């Protein structure tokens, strides 16, 4: 499987709150966010390589990734994009023909739950076209609420709390090639957000399933760093 990290955001909210480092280099649990995600991906038994997209304004991130190149199978693309969906679009042609695991750089979870998420997919690769990380823990200031049926199939995505939407999206996605075909279709239709893409999969009738994590911390604000630190210490 090809793994990928979306790390091209500006981290403007962190910067406005006095965090001087680019978001991918923010330290959580003794290592940068992007280093932690790379380590978790690289230790998976099916990891072929890790594709990463960073922006052109964070030279420090490129230097850090270059220092890891001999240790991990990395391929780095520098691209300035207007949002995470366009960053995913920049990755699509690099993700091969099979499943791809894509994560935002700032999604912090328990390591064992990340491993279990990937193992669940390996054990049942044909059960869904997309396998989405979700959590009942609401951390994001603008969460994407997720509704599922009794079998764990995702039936809808909502910007506000809704009946049956017991989860929120966690920023980690395992996508089949068929699911990834909808990235460009969304952009061609004028859509710009990852949540638009996720909605398009359900709207098209693809089999989109949820996998529950106990907590996923989205490190968008300075206060989130301490919360993520506490999670990594468990």
In the predicted model, what is the mean pLDDT of the chain? Answer: 95
Residues 6+ apart with CB under 8 A from 57: 10, 22, 80
What pLDDT shows up at residue 203? 97
Helices (H), the chain: 12-16, 33-42, 59-68, 84-92, 111-123, 177-188, 194-203, 222-232
Each residue's pLDDT tens digit, 84-136: 999 999 999 999 999 999 999 999 999 999 999 999 999 998 899 999 999 99
What pLDDT shows up at residue 13? 84
What pLDDT shows up at residue 229? 95
Decide: 91 and 184 in contact? Cβ < 8 Å: no
85 Cα distance to chain centroid: 11
What pLDDT shows up at residue 151? 95
What pLDDT shows up at residue 10? 72
pLDDT higher than threshold 90 for residue 192: no
What pLDDT shows up at residue 68? 96
What pLDDT shows up at residue 20? 86
Per cent of the chain over pLDDT 90 is 87
Each residue's pLDDT tens digit, 16-52: 888 889 999 999 999 999 999 999 999 999 999 999 9
Q: What is the DSSP string of 66-118?
A: HHHTTTS-EEEEE---SSHHHHHHHHHTTS-SS-EEEEETTEEE-HHHHHHHH
Decide: 162 and 145 in contact? Cβ < 8 Å: yes
pLDDT higher than threshold 90 for residue 231: yes
Residues 6+ apart with CB under 8 A from 89: 81, 183, 184, 187
Instruction: Reduce the DSSP state of residue 130 to 3 states and report it.
Output: strand
CA dihedral 73, 113, 201, 95 (to 10 degrees): 10
What pLDDT shows up at residue 118? 98
Each residue's pLDDT tens digit, 139-170: 878 899 999 999 999 999 999 999 999 999 99
Place of tokens 């909808």: 182
pTM, full prediction: 0.95
Q: Is 123 exposed, middle or buried (0-12, 13-18, 19+ CB in 10 A)?
A: exposed
The phi, psi pair for 182, rounded to 5°, reads -80, -10
Rounded Cα distance, 135 and 133, in Å: 7
Each residue's pLDDT tens digit, 52-79: 999 998 899 999 999 999 999 999 999 9
């Amino acid at each position: 499987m090809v793994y990928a990290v979306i790390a091209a955001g500006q981290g403007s909210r962190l910067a406005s709150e006095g965090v001087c480092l680019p978001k991918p280099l923010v330290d959580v649990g003794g290592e940068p966010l992007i280093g932690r995600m790379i380590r978790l991906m690289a230790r998976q038994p099916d990891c072929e390589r890790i594709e990463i997209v960073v922006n052109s304004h964070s030279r420090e991130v490129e230097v850090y990734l270059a220092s890891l190149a001999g240790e991990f199978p990395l391929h780095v693309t520098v691209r300035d994009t207007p949002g995470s969906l366009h960053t995913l679009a920049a990755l699509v042609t690099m993700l091969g023909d099979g499943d791809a695991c894509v994560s935002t750089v700032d999604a912090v979870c328990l390591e064992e739950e990340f491993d279990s998420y990937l193992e669940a997919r390996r054990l049942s690769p044909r059960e869904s076209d997309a396998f989405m990380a979700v959590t009942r823990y609401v951390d994001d200031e603008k969460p994407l609420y997720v509704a599922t049926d009794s079998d764990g199939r995702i039936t809808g995505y909502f910007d506000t709390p809704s009946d049956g939407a017991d989860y929120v999206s966690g920023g980690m996605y395992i996508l089949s090639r068929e699911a990834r075909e909808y990235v460009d279709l969304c952009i061609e239709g004028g859509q710009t957000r990852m949540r638009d893409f996720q909605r398009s999969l359900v709207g098209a009738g693809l089999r989109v399933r949820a996998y529950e994590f106990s907590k996923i911390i989205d490190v968008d604000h300075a206060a989130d760093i301490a919360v993520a630190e506490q999670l990594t210490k468990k």
